[in-house]
């Protein structure tokens, strides 16, 4: 039996996400991101392809480090404008039955009581198909938008996130007992007050004394996603996450990350298979290798290098415009840049690496595998990556929407199915059950939400 491959569509409520500039391609619909039909069409397509879910990234700020401002990001439509991702879910849920939704929300700027209600409401509306990608917020621009001086330092962000989770777990898991909601028309009792409890939380960052506002939803706690790959991020993921989204350039580094995550999950008392790991990937498939390669060349001129550098500068917190496009990256003093150059140097030790190299449509550092070919070739690559790295699946970047995703759905999925490496129908039940199997609609007893802190 072949190893099962899982696929998510990686999206953001913005014109330019992973590959800014492609909204300019004549057949691309990304500049319609603000309208409902973009999302309902995406959802129908993803469900037609039996994808596990749509994973929607988010930030609360602009990428305004590159060249000292946000001009490049604005001109490229590079993750700006960026609209609220939570609000597109119910329309997508209305046109699908099984597709999951991984919604990114930061723990930096909203009170846990509000977030807990949002996810419970969505879990009800989607009939148990919601996941939460927990991010801690890293952009100084977002902090300034919220009236703060700057983002918290990295380790404190994770300490705050731990406190945040402790509180939302109580709200989701402990406030309303199973059986609290009677809807007893004869006796006239909606909920049994004896089975509804005010939770009390008095943590280092958050306090609350309240009944959760929502009755228990199919999953109670949404499927928990996390995407941090720093040491603190990995520790956090190993403790809390059920799905981890990683990026990685080489199979060996991805394999190391995956084994590290699974080892840490084991150390945290969890089953290592309770962690599904998804790798970001750019996949361009066509009827033949030649046609796929032609598509790459056709798309390439539309990718906006300044937009990519704006995003990378924001993420790294260092201005990649500090040296010229074709000057050595080593001219920039930054640990982040240094580790990218080291990774690139391992792929070709004799080259001088420049900002331009970071923007190449194929194979740029830190942007994950770039997989191009016929259905057979793409399926081979996906299976090889999964076999060699122990990942569970891929997060497919938005390229030219919808055609690149249609090619995956119409060509790659059937090929993987013919190899027994892809499901041929959705499993019934909530999102967590679809991911982890029978009778797993709720968190397992080994998860910290169930064990207390």
Window 36 to 75, contacts with a second copy (CB under 8 A): 36, 39-40, 60-62, 69-71, 74-75
Q: Residue 286: beta bridge partners?
A: 374
The verdict on whether omega for the bond into residue 402 sits within 30 degrees of 0, i.e. cis, is yes
Q: Please say which residue, 207 or 293, places its beta carbon nearer to a second copy.
A: 207
Q: Which stretch binds a second copy (CB under 8 A): 152-160, 203-211, 260-268, 358-366?
A: 203-211
Min dist CB 369 to a second copy, Å, is 27
- C-beta closer to a second copy: residue 20 or 233: 20
CB 354 within 8 A of CB 292: no
Residue 83 binds to a second copy (criterion: CB under 8 A): yes
In whole angstroms, what is the distance from residue 187 CA to residue 448 CA?
38
The 3-state DSSP class for residue 210 equals strand
Determine how β-strand 53-57 pairs with β-strand 100-106.
parallel
Q: Supply the minimum distance, in Å, between the C-beta of residue 37 and a second copy.
A: 9
145 contacts 61 by C-beta, under 8 angstroms:
yes
Give the separation between CA 353 and CA 340, rounded to whole angstroms: 10
Minimum CB distance to a second copy, residue 418 (Å): 35
| Residue nearer to a second copy on the CB measure, 183 or 438 | 183
Residue number with CB closer to a second copy (185 or 438):
185
Residues 291-320 that bind a second copy (CB under 8 A): 304
150 interacts with a second copy by CB under 8 A: no
The interface with a second copy within residues 391-410 (CB under 8 A) comprises none
| Smallest distance, a second copy to C-beta of residue 324, A | 20
Site string for a second copy, 338-377 (x = CB under 8 A): ----------------------------------------
The 91-130 site mask, x for binding a second copy (CB under 8 A), equals: x-xxx-------------xxx-xx--xx-xxx-xx-x---
Among 29, 207, 235, 293, binds a second copy (CB under 8 A): 207
Q: Is 196 in the site for a second copy (CB under 8 A)?
A: yes
Interface pick for a second copy out of 41, 163, 192, 406 (rule CB under 8 A) = 192
**3-state SS track over 279-343:** EEEEEEEECCHHHHHHHHHHHHHHCCHHHHHHHHHHHHCCCHHHCCCCCCHHHCCCHHHHHHHHH
Q: Is the dihedral of CA 45, 49, 52, 57 positive or negative?
A: negative
Distance between CA atoms of 101 and 132, rounded to whole angstroms? 8
Q: Is 153 exposed, middle or buried (0-12, 13-18, 19+ CB in 10 A)?
A: exposed
Among 234, 397, 244, residue whose Cα is nearest residue 308: 397
Q: Which of 29, 48, 144, 235 binds a second copy (CB under 8 A)?
A: 144
183 binds a second copy (CB under 8 A): yes
H or E, element range at 88: none
Give the chain's radius of gyration (CA, Å).
22
Q: Is 159 in the site for a second copy (CB under 8 A)?
A: no
Q: Which of residues 4, 27, 68, 87 is near a second copy by CB under 8 A?
A: 87
Taking the least distance from each CB to a second copy, the nearer of 104 and 120 is 120
Contact flag: residue 204 with a second copy (CB under 8 A): no
Among 27, 35, 338, 351, binds a second copy (CB under 8 A): 35
Structure tokens at 176: 């309303």
Q: In the range 215-244, which residues lie near a second copy by CB under 8 A?
A: 215, 217
Q: Is 426 in the site for a second copy (CB under 8 A)?
A: no
Nearer to a second copy, 207 or 315 (CB): 207
Q: Please pick, from the candidates 1, 26, 335, 348, the single residue that binds a second copy as defined by CB under 8 A.
A: 26
Parallel, antiparallel, or unpaired for β 100-106 and 276-286? Answer: unpaired
Query: Long-range contacts for 375-378 (Cβ within 8 Å, ≥24 apart)?
Result: 375/285, 375/287, 375/411, 375/412, 375/414, 375/415, 376/415, 377/289, 377/292, 378/283, 378/285, 378/292, 378/408, 378/411, 378/412, 378/415
Nearer to a second copy, 84 or 333 (CB): 84
Minimum distance, C-beta of residue 128 to a second copy, in the bound complex (Å): 12
**Interface region with a second copy, contact rule CB under 8 A, candidates 84-92, 359-367, 384-392, 402-410:** 84-92
Q: Which residues contact 429 (CB under 8 A, 6 or more apart)?
A: 128, 438, 441
* Separation between Cα atoms, residue 212 and residue 377, nearest integer Å: 50
Q: Which of 49, 53, 77, 233 binds a second copy (CB under 8 A)?
A: 77
Question: Strand 189-191 vs strand 181-184: parallel, antiparallel, or unpaired?
Answer: antiparallel
Distance (Å, whole) CA 229 – CA 231: 6
206 part of the interface to a second copy, by CB under 8 A: yes
# chain residues binding a second copy, by CB under 8 A:
77
- For the record, the structure tokens of 103 come out as 């919604």
Binding-site members for FMN are 58, 104, 154, 158, 230
């Amino acid at each position: 039996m072949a190893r099962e491959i899982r696929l998510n569509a990686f999206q953001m409520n913005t014109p330019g996400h992973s590959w800014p500039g492609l909204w300019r391609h004549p057949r691309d619909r990304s500049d319609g991101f603000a309208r409902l039909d973009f999302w309902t069409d995406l959802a129908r397509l993803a469900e037609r392809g039996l994808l596990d879910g749509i994973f929607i990234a988010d930030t609360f700020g602009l990428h305004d480090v590159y060249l000292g401002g946000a001009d490049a990001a604005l001109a490229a439509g590079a993750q700006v404008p960026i609209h609220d991702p939570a609000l597109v879910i119910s329309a997508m849920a209305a046109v699908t039955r099984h597709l999951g939704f991984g919604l990114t929300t930061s723990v930096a700027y909203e009170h846990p009581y509000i977030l807990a209600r949002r996810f419970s409401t969505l879990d009800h509306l989607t009939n148990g198909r919601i996941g939460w990608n927990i991010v801690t917020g890293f952009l100084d621009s977002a902090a300034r938008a919220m009236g703060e001086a700057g983002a918290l330092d990295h380790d404190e962000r994770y300490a705050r996130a731990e406190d945040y989770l402790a509180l939302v777990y109580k709200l989701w898991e402990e406030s309303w007992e199973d059986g609290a909601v009677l809807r007893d028309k004869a006796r006239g009792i909606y909920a049994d007050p004896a089975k509804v409890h005010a939770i009390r939380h008095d943590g280092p960052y958050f306090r609350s004394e309240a009944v959760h506002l929502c009755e228990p939803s199919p999953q109670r706690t949404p499927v928990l996603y996390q995407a941090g790959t720093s040491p603190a991020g990995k520790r956090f993921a190993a403790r809390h996450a059920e799905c981890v989204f990683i990026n990685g350039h080489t199979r060996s580094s991805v394999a190391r990350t995956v084994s590290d995550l699974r080892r840490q999950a084991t150390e945290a008392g969890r089953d290592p298979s309770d962690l599904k790991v998804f790798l970001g990937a750019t996949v361009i498939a066509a009827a033949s290798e030649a046609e796929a390669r032609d598509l790459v060349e056709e798309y390439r001129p539309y990718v906006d290098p300044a937009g990519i550098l704006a995003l990378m500068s924001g993420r790294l917190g260092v201005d990649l415009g500090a040296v010229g496009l074709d000057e050595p990256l080593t001219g920039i003093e930054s640990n982040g840049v240094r580790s990218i150059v080291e990774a690139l140097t391992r792929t070709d030790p004799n080259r001088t690496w420049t900002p331009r190299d970071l923007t190449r449509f194929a194979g740029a550092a830190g942007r994950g595998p770039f997989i191009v070919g016929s259905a057979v070739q793409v399926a081979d690559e996906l299976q090889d990556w999964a076999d060699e790295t122990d990942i569970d699946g891929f997060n497919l970047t938005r390229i030219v929407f919808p055609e690149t995703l249609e090619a995956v759905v119409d060509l790659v999925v059937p090929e993987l199915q013919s190899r027994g490496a892809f499901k041929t129908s959705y499993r019934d039940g909530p999102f967590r059950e679809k991911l982890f199997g029978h009778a797993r609609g709720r968190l397992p007893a080994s998860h910290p939400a169930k064990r207390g802190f």
